[in-house]
Amino acid sequence: MKESTVNIIEELIIRYNILEVCKNDILSALEMLIDIYKNNKKLLVAGNGGSAADAQHMVGELMKAFVLPRKLSISKQLEIKNMFPQDSHYLINNLQNAFSAISLLGENSLTSAYSNDKASNLVFAQQIFGLGNPGDVFLAISTSGNSENIIYACEVAKVQKMKVIGLTGETGGKMKKLCDIVICVPSNITFKIQEYHLPIYHALCLALENEFFGDEI
């Protein structure tokens, strides 16, 4: 990992020193995410309520440029030029490299149909069963660590031979034992937990972007 990448996590702790207790787990989560993207795997993310918004927010930062330019490689540019010369300038100037990430909150037809036909508390688990592959990572966001639909999703992620990162409150809840890495922020109050979650996943997105697209230091 680049020194400048580690520095992003160090700066997070300077700005939010209360998160010092989470530092090693944040770094471990970052290492896992770097590894999956080096191996062309993907991230699935889910949560409820405010955590659902966080899941979508994080995916938005990963799937397009966050703070650094993510220009296409020369080989990809040449491929576009050869295949679609008439549109190549527009495509090359606007497409950006992405970290493959999927929020499990957007499939309204699937989730409503599955909830009606089968079990509403398995809507995330069903999507993980359909989308998750060995080596992928599920980022489970739950302020209590006890959200039933998140617990089931973690279990199915393990069945699919995925890794699980938990982002939760200070106890970790029932989810803790199902996670390979769990980031437990130091609060048991929902809105405060959510306030700590945002700078953590922002820092993870910044660090990933720096590792793959930043300076070589």
Same domain, 186 and 172: yes
Q: What is the pLDDT of residues 175-206, one digit of tens each?
A: 999 999 999 999 999 999 999 999 999 999 99
pLDDT above 80 for 217: no
105 and 180 inside one domain? yes
> Mind listing the pLDDT tens digit for each residue in 81-133?
999 999 999 999 999 999 999 999 988 999 999 999 999 999 999 999 999 99
Look at the block and give the residue holding tokens 């590894």: 35
Q: Give the separation between CA 115 and CA 71, rounded to whole angstroms.
A: 41
User: Structural domain tally of the chain?
Assistant: 2
**CATH number of the domain enclosing 141:** 3.40.50.10490
Please check whether residues 90 and 119 belong to one and the same domain: no
Q: Which pLDDT does position 23 carry in this prediction?
A: 97
Rg (CA), the chain: 18
**83 and 107: one domain?**
no
Q: Do 48 and 103 belong together in one domain?
A: yes
- The pTM of the full predicted model, rounded to 2 decimals, is 0.95
Range of 207's domain?
A: 3-63+98-213
Burial 6-44 (b: 16+ CB within 10 A, else e): eebbeebbeebeebeebeebbbebbebbbebbeeebbbb
136 and 34 part of one domain: yes
End-of-domain residue from the set 97, 115, 147 = 97
Calpha distance 104→181 (Å, rounded): 20
- Model confidence at 174, in pLDDT bands (50, 70, 90)? very high
Do both 110 and 181 map to the same domain?
Answer: yes
> pLDDT tens, 39-78?
999 999 999 999 999 999 999 999 999 999 999 999 999 9
The reported pLDDT for the residue numbered 152 is 98
* Residue 205 vs residues 43, 87, 196: alpha-carbon distances, Å: 12, 30, 15
Note whether 74 and 171 are same-domain residues. Answer: no
- Answer with the one of 97, 116, 148 that is the final residue of a domain: 97
167, 201 Cβ separation under 8 angstroms: yes
Q: Is the same domain home to 135 and 195?
A: yes
Domain boundary among 97, 113, 145: 97
- The predicted pLDDT at position 76 comes to 97
Same domain, 92 and 172: no
Same domain, 163 and 188: yes
Q: 58 and 150: one domain?
A: yes
pLDDT at residue 188 in the model: 96
What integer pLDDT is reported at residue 215 of this predicted model?
A: 83
